[in-house]
Structure 1
Amino acid sequence: MRKNSIKNIRVNEEVHRELSNIIRGEIKDPRINPMTSVVAVEVAPDLKTAKAYISVLGDEQSQKDTLAGLRSAEGFIRVKLAKSINLRNTPEIKFILDQSIEYGVNMSKKIDDVTKDIKED
């Protein structure tokens, strides 16, 4: 299975959907911020590993706590994923903090500030 094959894209989407549901509804860890979202998931072609890109709305400490909570719940998440998705191998998930949404919001604020200054002049 190639990296960009249709099967791999479908597996990525299914793991993304189920991972979002598990994080949103089944994990009770207080360290995990309620405003946590799964941005993207990349499952390796051999279905052994997966990279989950996580976005957390909050300060830097909240992001670190959420990442620590998710890493400690990896086994639980993998078991839930195995029960909900019928794959030959359940991938081992590596959580990676994605700050692209936060970066976009900051850039949008800066652009709005600049255009507001131009309109005042």
Structure 2
Amino acid sequence: MSKEFSRAQRVSQQLQKELALILQREVRDSRIGMVTISDVEVSRDLAYAKVFVTFLCVGEQTPESSLAALKEHEVPVRMALGKRIRHRLTPEVRFTYDNTLVEGMRMSNLVSEVLSEDKRRQEAAGRTDEQEASEQKKSEGDAE
């Protein structure tokens, strides 16, 4: 079983490299923009490849529109891939938008917001404590 896993992993890495080159050199579509292949998952029988992509969108481009344009090129990309790799079967390529980078940035921003809010609250509470302490000292000084 581990042999299957390592083969699928090797094929996945090879596909990622080859697909990146194909998208960079052979697919000419301005609707796609800059695309990055973040991961490739290959089925156990190596018949399907789920390709996770991210986009650097410029202007009015959105990840959804870029993905739709990229999906139009699935068949030509598979044909180009078949010419480059030496496998009995060329996997069917399925492009999927990878939102982990966007979600990671969102989570990082949320954590930063919470930390800054917590710091602000601690500073406000610290000032209040200091004010109370100075008032107590004044009242103790007046009592003497």
TM-score (norm 2): 0.72
Corresponding residue of 1:50: 49
Structure 2, gaps ≥5 residues long: 124-144
Corresponding residue of 1:24: 24
Aligned structure 1 segments of 4 or more residues deviating by more than 3 angstroms = 1-4
Deviation at 1:103, TM superposition (A): 0.2
Structure 1, gaps ≥5 residues long: none
Corresponding residue of 2:126: none
CA contact (8 A) 2:54 2:98 kept: yes
Matched, 1:78 2:78: yes
- Identical-residue share of aligned pairs (%): 33
Task: Specify the SS of the correspondent of 1:45.
Answer: coil
Deviation at 1:106, TM superposition (A): 0.8
Larger of the two Rg values belongs to structure: 2
Partner AA of 1:54 in structure 2: V
Partner AA of 2:39 in structure 1: A
CA contact (8 A) 1:48 1:89 kept: yes
The change in CA–CA distance for 1:78 and 1:103 in structure 2 (over 3 A counts) is same
Aligned pair count reads: 120
- Structure having the higher helix fraction is 2
Matched, 1:119 2:119: yes
CA contact (8 A) 1:57 1:102 kept: no
Q: Of the two structures, which has the highest relative contact order with CA contacts closer than 8 Å and spacing of 6 or more?
A: 1
